Amino acid sequence: MTEGEGMTISRREFAGVALGAIAARAQESERKVGYAMVGLGRISMQHLAPSLKASKIAKVTALVSGHRDKAEKMAAEYGIPAKNIYSYENYDAIADNKDIDAVYVALPNSMHAEYTVRAAKAGKHVLCEKPMATTVADAQAMIDACKKANRKLMIAYRCQFEPTNLRATELIRSGRLGKIQGIESANGFNIRAGEWRLNMKLAGGGPLMDVGVYSLNACRFLTGEEPGDIKANWSVIDKDGRFNEVEENLGWTMRFPSGIVASCNTTYGANMPGFYRVHGTKGMLHMEPAFGYEGIHLTAKIQGEPAIDEPNPEKDPAQFTREADHLANVILHGGELRASGEEGLRDMKLMMEIYRSCGR
């Protein structure tokens, strides 16, 4: 074969190369991001993992658990091979598993930092439950580790992807309610004795670090502003032994740069359906439930307009599919995360200010 002959390609060969390239692109477009569930508790195996069955771009490919028998049962349900079941001891070996693109960290709060940092060092992206950590230093360490590894870190603020909450944000930021004057929000439940959330070492705090963060983040997300001038109080009313380490009730106020004043409450002592109410010069908006996995319901009364009554008919786990897909899409195609580690860090700093204000 001469040099010229070596440079020649037949129509059949060209067609084969072209079809191969098309097939490769199609295969890439069909590739699903593989998630490893780190911790097989309620939120991971009853919400996030089932949500990925509905995803077109993500799936569960691995499990990390301290209970092998539990993990094997879950693996059988999701078609996960035995080689993709890990313990906390051999967790770092996920670095060698190409089936895993990202991990979902759903462990007690104080363990978020360690398993996020280890995931980053293993070359994996991270979707971490909120609050992202129990200290500002740990939250910053998580961000730094992921940046160093060039991996994405997303915090699981699923309400930031829920259509009805986005609709409320649009009504507020577009000026439909006029100038916003005040916001009220609350979220809480009556906690059972023995929950890990009552352990200060594991939780890092009481209801503020669990359900109260929803109200805090909602106020920031709805307004697009960062608050200051925080004043807070806490209490323990039920002397039944549940609250020897963490607060039972906590309330706080905060002032935003525009002058909006928000008042929030959270509790582990009573069922307090999550809601927020926003008051503007032209009307009022009410979301209840605001933070649940389903049944989100928006109502609003705006001067000169028909009343708004918009329930979201989506069922659980649609919200989880949406947030997992967001990270998966960024992994596959690039772009910016809506709920990055920096977003979680801002909430961490504010929660520490709230605790300092009330002397906890």
For the packed helices 341-358 and 136-148, what is the interaxial angle rounded to 10 degrees?
170
Is residue 130 part of the annotated active site? The answer reads yes
* Catalytic position from the list 59, 124, 130, 152: 130
Q: Can you tell me the distance from the alpha carbon of 328 to that of 317, in angstroms, rounded to the nearest whole number? A: 17
Residue keyed to tokens 């699903």: 32
φ, ψ at 296 (rounded to 5°):
-60, 135
Q: Can you tell me the distance from the alpha carbon of 73 to that of 79, in angstroms, rounded to the nearest whole number? A: 10
User: Using an 8 Å Cβ cutoff, are 52 and 59 in contact?
Assistant: yes
> 3-state SS of 107-175?
CCHHHHHHHHHHHHHCCCEEEECCCCCCCHHHHHHHHHHHHHCCCCEEECCHHHHCHHHHHHHHHHHCC
Contacts with 316 (C-beta within 8 Å, 6 or more apart), sequence order: 47, 293, 294
Dig out the tokens for 190 from the structure.
């009556």
Which neighbouring-strand residues pair with 86? 64
Q: Can you tell me the distance from the alpha carbon of 154 to that of 279, in angstroms, rounded to the nearest whole number? A: 31
* Catalytic position from the list 214, 276, 293, 355: 214
Is residue 32 part of the annotated active site? The answer reads no
Dig out the tokens for 199 from the structure.
């352990």
* Full DSSP string of 236-297: ----SSTTSSS-SEEEEEEE-TTS-EEEEEEESEEEEEEEEEEEETTEEEEESS-SSSS--E
Q: Known catalytic residues?
A: 130, 214
